[in-house]
Amino acid sequence: MPKTPEQVGKEHGRYSPAAYRFVYEGLGYTLQKLGHTGHVTGQTLCHGLLALALDRWGKLALTVLNSWGIHTTRDFGQIVWALIQNQLMTAQPGDSIDDFNNAYDLKAAITAAFRF
């Protein structure tokens, strides 16, 4: 029986199990926003996850993500790779966890979304 994202999170232990569910759901959200199915790059997924966080939590997005242990886009990559290792996501041959390095500054991106 396949594991749930939350189970992977409990076993991985690095981030809140809710963070694994968020990233898992974020892939579907990103694909829907792009209007296609298939592969997305780590950078594209990071931007989709930012949009989802802003949609769900608005100004509290940074607080929620930080409470789960997510402080950088590399943290998203760590979660994605754990989900890949548990067959909940897939990677293409050229994909690397380094694709998630510095997609943007998480704090600055969320703060910028609410500047007037």
Of 2, 1, 11, 116, the C-alpha closest to 59 is 116
The residue whose two tokens read 């396949």 is 2
pLDDT in tens, 69-103: 999 999 999 999 999 999 999 999 999 999 999 99
pLDDT in tens, 25-66: 999 999 999 998 888 999 999 999 999 999 999 999 999 999
Would you list the domain boundaries of the chain? 5-112
pTM of the model: 0.94
φ, ψ for residue 37 (rounded to 5)?
-115, 165
Residue 34, Cβ neighbours under 10 Å: how many? 12
C-alpha torsion sign, points 25, 34, 67, 14: positive
Residue type, position 95, single letter:
D
Whether the per-residue pLDDT at 116 is higher than 90: the answer is: no
Q: What is the DSSP letter of 17?
A: H
Those residues whose C-beta lies under 8 Å from the C-beta of residue 112, and which sit 6 or more positions away, are none
Q: State the DSSP H helix or E strand holding residue 62, giving kind and residue range, or none if neither.
A: helix 61-67
Whether the per-residue pLDDT at 106 is higher than 70: the answer is: yes
d(CA 53, CA 73): 13
* Mean pLDDT across 15-32: 97
